């Protein structure tokens, strides 16, 4: 996720992209450099920042979003960084797909997202930007942030809003508290939602390295790489190219370590499930058939003939059945991502490939089956110790 702040006062790029044309050009540049999402913000949340009126925030972000929406590719998305429901609504109507809310996606924000079928990011913050760094206090920062995010996630799911979670690095946290969170991302990943991390150019990196804000690229990459190795799926960054290159190298090393040859792969073909899935309310009201095929890469070769040394087919089939029966989705893609993530946690596998078929598509499509294929990887923190 590439960051573009259409503000005069953001801590790292304030004033550089305050004009619409400059912000659009920067958004397109970040997409060319490899971002799949651009996050457009119209209000700084740096410590001590003063709030901006909704009308002014809309004046800043909506024209940028509209211009980007006309130019982005089918696999790219626009996010709006706002905590105001009226700004979120205008941004979604202007072409944004995702709302990044540093105040944690509460009501009425969730209603706006549900109305538009949009996804969201729920971030943790202690206090509010004006005062949050005065004296942040926690009993146990990791446990408290986890509890907050679990609560936000549950409420988002009640509204049928797909939700990423973010511990909010630098938002009402000391250096040690930020480090504790960044060192224990498995605790947050265990909530089962995609994890977003944003450390880009933040002051904790200055505290650790002494580097000024515009000299924190390497420090940002180091922090984000550690987060990616612990399973963070989205990194919110200003310097997309540097991150992209670092991730390409890390991924190549990680791929070389996949124990495919020795561990073999475990597959399950066309497991039949039924799930309340469909874009329209009518489709979702009735359980639809789904056929799910899975290929697991176990984390190590089966070390004995015992079932607990590999992926257990029976457990996986049962888990899939329960998952499909208990949840409802608009998209097979979201169904696949969430099921894949749950299966990685359940089985301890390194990777899982999923193919999801809807064997009964609408007759007007003239297709015998529609669906999606995806591949997910688990975090492997043990690869860098």
Cβ at position 179, least distance to ligand HH2 in Å: 15
Question: For residues 129 and 45, is the Cβ–Cβ distance under 8 A?
Answer: yes
Using alpha carbons, select from 106, 101, 69, 71 the residue that is nearest to residue 88: 101
**With binding defined as CB under 6 A, does residue 7 bind ligand HH2?**
yes
| Residues sharing a CB contact under 8 Å with residue 350, sequence separation 6 or more, in sequence order | 258, 259, 297, 298, 299, 377, 378, 380
> Is there a catalytic annotation at residue 152?
no
Residue closer to ligand HH2 (CB basis): 49 or 351:
49
- The 40-69 contact track toward ligand HH2, x by CB under 6 A, reads -x--xxx-----------------------
Cβ at position 1, least distance to ligand HH2 in Å: 8
Residue closer to ligand HH2 (CB basis): 26 or 288:
26
DSSP E strand boundaries for the chain = 2-5, 37-41, 77-81, 98-101, 119-123, 163-166, 196-197, 234-235, 266-277, 288-297, 328-329, 351-358, 370-377
Cβ at position 185, least distance to ligand HH2 in Å: 14
Query: Which residue in this structure is represented by tokens 């190795």?
Result: 229
Beta bridge pairs of residue 98: 79, 119
Q: Which of 102, 142, 227, 343 binds ligand HH2 (CB under 6 A)?
A: 102
- The 116-155 contact track toward ligand HH2, x by CB under 6 A, reads -----x-x--------------------------------
Cβ at position 343, least distance to ligand HH2 in Å: 26
Question: For residues 340 and 376, is the Cβ–Cβ distance under 8 A?
Answer: yes
Beta bridge pairs of residue 328: 276
Residue closer to ligand HH2 (CB basis): 199 or 292:
199
Residue closer to ligand HH2 (CB basis): 50 or 281:
50
- Catalytic residue selected from 202, 216, 341, 377: 202
Q: Which of 2, 11, 103, 149 binds ligand HH2 (CB under 6 A)?
A: 11
- Beta strands 351-358 and 370-377 are antiparallel
Cβ at position 121, least distance to ligand HH2 in Å: 5
Question: For residues 182 and 223, is the Cβ–Cβ distance under 8 A?
Answer: yes
Residue closer to ligand HH2 (CB basis): 113 or 343:
113
Residue closer to ligand HH2 (CB basis): 103 or 288:
103
List the Cα angle 18/24/26 in 5-degree steps.
Answer: 80
Query: Binding residues for ligand HH2, how many (CB under 6 A)?
Result: 21
- Beta strands 98-101 and 119-123 are parallel
In whole angstroms, what is the distance from residue 345 CA to residue 334 CA?
17
**With binding defined as CB under 6 A, does residue 198 bind ligand HH2?**
yes
Cβ at position 46, least distance to ligand HH2 in Å: 4
Residue closer to ligand HH2 (CB basis): 121 or 332:
121
Cβ at position 238, least distance to ligand HH2 in Å: 6
Question: For residues 375 and 336, is the Cβ–Cβ distance under 8 A?
Answer: no
- Catalytic residue selected from 236, 341, 358, 377: 236
> Is there a catalytic annotation at residue 236?
yes
Q: How far is CA 93 from CA 21, 56, 97, 101, 153, in A?
A: 20, 17, 9, 17, 24
Single out the segment in contact with ligand HH2 by CB under 6 A; choices: 164-172, 186-194, 275-283, 357-365. Answer: 164-172
Residue nearest to ligand HH2 (CB): 198
- Beta strands 288-297 and 351-358 are antiparallel
Exposure b/e, 3-22, CB count within 10 A at least 16 = b: bbbbbeebbbbeebbbebee
**With binding defined as CB under 6 A, does residue 26 bind ligand HH2?**
no
Residues 227-256 that bind ligand HH2 (CB under 6 A): 236
Question: For residues 196 and 165, is the Cβ–Cβ distance under 8 A?
Answer: yes
Catalytic residue set: 202, 236
Give the interface with ligand HH2 as residue ranges (CB under 6 A): 3, 5, 7, 10-12, 41, 44-46, 81, 100, 102, 121, 123, 166, 168-169, 196, 198, 236
């Amino acid at each position: 996720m590439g960051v573009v702040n259409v503000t005069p006062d953001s801590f790292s790029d304030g004033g550089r992209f305050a004009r619409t044309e400059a912000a659009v050009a920067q958004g397109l540049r970040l997409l060319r450099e490899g971002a799949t999402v651009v996050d457009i913000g119209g209000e700084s949340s740096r410590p001590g920042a003063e709030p901006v009126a909704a009308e002014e925030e809309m004046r800043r972000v909506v024209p940028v979003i509209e211009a980007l929406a006309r130019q982005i590719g089918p696999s790219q998305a626009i996010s709006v960084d706002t905590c105001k429901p009226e700004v979120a609504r205008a941004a979604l109507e202007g072409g944004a797909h995702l709302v990044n809310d540093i105040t944690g996606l509460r009501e009425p924000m969730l209603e706006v997202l549900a109305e538009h079928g949009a996804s969201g990011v729920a971030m943790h913050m202690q206090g509010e930007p004006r005062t949050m760094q005065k004296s942040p206090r926690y009993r146990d920062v990791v446990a408290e942030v986890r509890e907050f995010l679990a609560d936000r996630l549950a409420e988002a799911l009640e509204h049928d809003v797909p939700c990423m979670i973010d511990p909010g690095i630098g938002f009402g946290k000391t250096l040690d508290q930020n480090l504790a969170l960044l060192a224990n991302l498995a605790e947050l990943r265990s909530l089962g939602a995609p994890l977003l991390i944003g450390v880009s150019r933040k002051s904790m990196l200055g505290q650790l390295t002494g580097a000024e804000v515009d000299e924190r690229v390497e420090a940002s990459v180091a922090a984000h790489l550690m987060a990616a190795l612990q399973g963070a799926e989205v990194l919110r960054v200003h310097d997309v190219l540097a991150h992209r290159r670092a991730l390409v190298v890390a991924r190549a090393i990680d791929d070389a370590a996949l124990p495919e040859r020795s561990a073999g792969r475990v597959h399950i073909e066309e497991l039949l499930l039924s799930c309340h899935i469909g874009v329209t309310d009518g489709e979702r009201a009735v359980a639809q058939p789904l056929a799910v095929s899975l290929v697991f890469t176990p984390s190590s070769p089966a070390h004995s003939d015992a079932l607990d040394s590999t992926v257990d087919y029976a457990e996986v089939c049962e888990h899939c059945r329960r998952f499909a029966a208990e949840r409802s989705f608009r998209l097979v893609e979201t169904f696949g991502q969430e099921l894949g993530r749950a299966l990685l946690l359940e089985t301890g596998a390194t990777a899982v490939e999923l193919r999801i078929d809807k064997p009964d598509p609408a007759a007007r499509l003239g297709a015998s089956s529609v669906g999606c294929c995806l591949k997910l990887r688990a975090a492997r923190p043990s690869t860098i110790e």
